[in-house]
């Protein structure tokens, strides 16, 4: 029997090293300041961080395809360009084929949304009595009539006080505007309205052009960064490892490899889930005879890229469109969407990920909330993979500690059996 390996046991601290010392306090304060400055730096370059992370995410997927093409003696740079260009071509091809239907059904959704909201309001008003009405009234607050009556009484009281005293500000403003209008000639009025209209138009035009150019620039940078990372991922990985102390490079290399595996699997899983959810949602909506089924299924597939929050947001327009026909159909849509998400979370995702990224729901929601506050909507999209990447070293350390603990328990059991045998 193997004896107990004493090297696996943690060495006890001497009495003089137990507890907090001045050096420990200084080290903790330094770490806290470093974290604070790091967060400040992250806030100032948050857009660049999101762009680099997305490029890395897509670049890792491209790199796996480049590894496959390299077997056929295709250079990595050429293979990366072929994969990126073919992917973009496929996306634009699918969009060009589906664009007429999407535009038509999108206009239908825009037209019938007000009707759907109105029917929901009528349904709620018709159930003001009973338990449902009590719940709705408590959730919505005081009735509108009460608020309006109080506002009217307050307004009449203030009006009475104003009439008894000096002229009101509204009356003075109206008199001033009237005097200005009388003094202004028709030509001056035309010039003023033209200048106001041109100023408003130029402001909106400048905002539209600047936002469009920023989006196109970000997209081009994303494509090229993903192409470069996919072509030579080892170069950038070695650059990161070079700044790490030599004693920790092996561990950091292992962590980076695990992060790459997790991110790659997450991206592939999400893309597959988007296609599956979109197709299944379209079949369900067509069976239930919901209007604009193709557009609603397209929205469901796109929003699947945002875990937890995306499926909830995609269900809202589908339920509203079903409510146009009947509340019963809306209920069937709710049940169908819940069933689709249940099968996805308990069958599709576990099968594809195989336990590589098992995040608790509470951590997922907190991460999505914080990332949304810091980075906006793009932060919501990448909150889950970024959190999974951050948790990889923690999970690896926990697995190593469990392995050491199991080895210690096994060695202790063997030592006890050996002692009993010798006795």
**Can you tell me the distance from the alpha carbon of 174 to that of 161, in angstroms, rounded to the nearest whole number?**
19
Evaluate whether residue 331 is within a structural domain.
Answer: yes
Q: Which tokens sit at 78?
A: 């050429």
pLDDT classification of 204: cutoffs 50, 70, 90: low
Q: Would you tell me how many other CB atoms lie within 10 Å of the CB of residue 57? A: 23
Q: How far apart are the first and last CA of the chain?
A: 14
- The per-residue pLDDT for 125 is 77
Tell me the average pLDDT across 376-395.
84
Q: ∠ at Cα 238 (42, 270), nearest 5°?
A: 60
**Can you tell me the distance from the alpha carbon of 357 to that of 159, in angstroms, rounded to the nearest whole number?**
64
User: Is pLDDT at 167 greater than 60 in this prediction?
Assistant: no
pLDDT classification of 386: cutoffs 50, 70, 90: confident
Instruction: Note down the domain range covering 108.
Output: 26-136+176-422
User: Is pLDDT at 176 greater than 70 in this prediction?
Assistant: no
Evaluate whether residue 375 is within a structural domain.
Answer: yes
Q: Would you tell me how many other CB atoms lie within 10 Å of the CB of residue 256? A: 20
**Can you tell me the distance from the alpha carbon of 322 to that of 296, in angstroms, rounded to the nearest whole number?**
11
The region of weakest confidence among 52-66, 110-124, 291-305 is 110-124
Say if residues 354 and 343 touch (Cβ distance below 8 Å).
no
- The per-residue pLDDT for 270 is 86
418, with CB counted inside 10 A (0-12, 13-18, 19+), is middle
- The per-residue pLDDT for 333 is 92
The region of weakest confidence among 96-100, 122-126, 135-139 is 135-139
Total domain count, the chain: 1
Q: What is the CA radius of gyration of the chain?
A: 32
Say if residues 80 and 230 touch (Cβ distance below 8 Å).
yes
* Cα distances (Å, whole numbers) of residue 35 to 50, 369, 391: 19, 20, 17
Q: What is the mean pLDDT of the chain?
A: 76
**Can you tell me the distance from the alpha carbon of 83 to that of 275, in angstroms, rounded to the nearest whole number?**
19
- The per-residue pLDDT for 50 is 84
The region of weakest confidence among 41-45, 159-163, 365-369 is 159-163
Q: Which tokens sit at 99?
A: 């664009």
Evaluate whether residue 14 is within a structural domain.
Answer: no
The pTM score is 0.66
The region of weakest confidence among 34-38, 135-139, 326-330 is 135-139
- The per-residue pLDDT for 4 is 42
Evaluate whether residue 96 is within a structural domain.
Answer: yes
Evaluate whether residue 381 is within a structural domain.
Answer: yes
**Can you tell me the distance from the alpha carbon of 244 to that of 15, in angstroms, rounded to the nearest whole number?**
33
The region of weakest confidence among 66-80, 144-158, 180-194, 373-387 is 144-158
- 318-349: pLDDT as tens digits: 988 888 888 888 899 999 999 988 887 777 77
Q: Which residues lie closer than 8 Å to 109 by C-beta, 6 or more apart?
A: 292, 295, 296, 317, 321
143 φ, ψ (degrees, to nearest 5): -60, 155
**Can you tell me the distance from the alpha carbon of 323 to that of 333, in angstroms, rounded to the nearest whole number?**
9
Say if residues 320 and 113 touch (Cβ distance below 8 Å).
yes
pLDDT classification of 356: cutoffs 50, 70, 90: low
- 46-74: pLDDT as tens digits: 778 888 888 888 998 898 889 889 888 89
- The per-residue pLDDT for 185 is 66
Q: Which residues lie closer than 8 Å to 213 by C-beta, 6 or more apart?
A: none
> What percent of the chain is modeled with pLDDT above 70?
72
**Can you tell me the distance from the alpha carbon of 410 to that of 21, in angstroms, rounded to the nearest whole number?**
36
* Cα distances (Å, whole numbers) of residue 26 to 13, 106, 366: 20, 60, 30
Evaluate whether residue 168 is within a structural domain.
Answer: no
The single-letter DSSP state of residue 3 is P
Whose tokens are 């197709």? That residue is: 279
**Can you tell me the distance from the alpha carbon of 401 to that of 114, in angstroms, rounded to the nearest whole number?**
58
Nearest Cα to 68, choosing from 81, 55, 80? Answer: 80
**Can you tell me the distance from the alpha carbon of 387 to that of 367, in angstroms, rounded to the nearest whole number?**
7
User: Is pLDDT at 283 greater than 90 in this prediction?
Assistant: yes
Evaluate whether residue 158 is within a structural domain.
Answer: no
- CA atoms 354, 305, 337, 97: torsion sign: negative
pLDDT classification of 402: cutoffs 50, 70, 90: confident
Say if residues 246 and 81 touch (Cβ distance below 8 Å).
no
Evaluate whether residue 15 is within a structural domain.
Answer: no
Tell me the average pLDDT across 118-135.
68
């Amino acid at each position: 029997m193997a004896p107990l390996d004493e090297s696996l046991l943690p060495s006890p601290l001497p009495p003089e090293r137990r507890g907090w010392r001045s050096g420990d306090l200084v080290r903790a304060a330094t770490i806290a300041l470093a974290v604070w400055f790091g967060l400040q730096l992250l806030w100032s370059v948050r857009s660049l961080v999101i762009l680099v992370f997305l490029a890395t995410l897509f670049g890792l997927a491209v790199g796996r395809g480049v590894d496959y093409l390299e077997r056929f003696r295709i250079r990595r740079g050429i293979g990366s360009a072929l994969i990126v260009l073919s992917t973009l071509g496929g996306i634009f091809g699918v969009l060009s084929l589906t664009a007429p239907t999407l535009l038509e059904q999108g206009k239908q959704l825009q037209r019938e949304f007000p009707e759907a909201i109105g029917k929901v309001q009528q349904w709620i008003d018709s159930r003001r009595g009973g338990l449902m009405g009590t719940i709705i009234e408590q959730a919505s607050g005081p009735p509108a009539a009460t608020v309006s009556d109080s506002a009217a009484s307050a307004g009449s009281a203030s009006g009475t006080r104003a009439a008894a005293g000096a002229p009101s500000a509204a009356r003075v403003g109206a008199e001033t505007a009237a005097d200005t209008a009388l003094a202004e000639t028709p030509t001056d009025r035309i010039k003023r309205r033209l200048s106001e209209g041109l100023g408003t138009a130029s402001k909106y035009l400048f905002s539209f052009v600047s936002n469009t150019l920023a989006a196109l620039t970000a997209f081009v940078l994303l494509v090229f960064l993903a192409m470069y990372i996919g072509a030579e991922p080892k170069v950038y990985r070695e650059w990161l490892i070079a700044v790490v102390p030599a004693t920790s490079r092996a561990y950091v290399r292992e962590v980076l490899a695990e992060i790459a595996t997790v991110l790659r699997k997450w991206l592939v899983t999400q893309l597959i889930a988007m296609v599956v959810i979109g197709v299944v949602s379209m079949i369900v909506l067509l069976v239930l005879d919901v209007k604009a089924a193709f557009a609603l299924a397209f929205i469901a597939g796109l929003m699947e890229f945002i875990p937890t929050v995306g499926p909830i947001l995609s269900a809202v327009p589908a339920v509203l469109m079903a409510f146009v026909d009947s509340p019963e159909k809306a209920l069937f849509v709710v049940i169908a969407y819940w069933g689709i998400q249940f099968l996805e979370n308990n069958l599709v995702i576990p099968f594809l990920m195989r336990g590589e990224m098992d995040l608790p729901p509470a951590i997922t929601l907190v991460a999505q909330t914080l990332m949304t506050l810091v980075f906006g909507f793009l932060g919501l999209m990448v909150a889950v993979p970024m959190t999974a990447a951050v948790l990889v070293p923690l999970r690896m350390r926990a697995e190593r500690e469990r392995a050491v603990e199991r080895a210690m328990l096994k060695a202790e059991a063997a030592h006890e059996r050996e002692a009993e045998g010798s006795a």
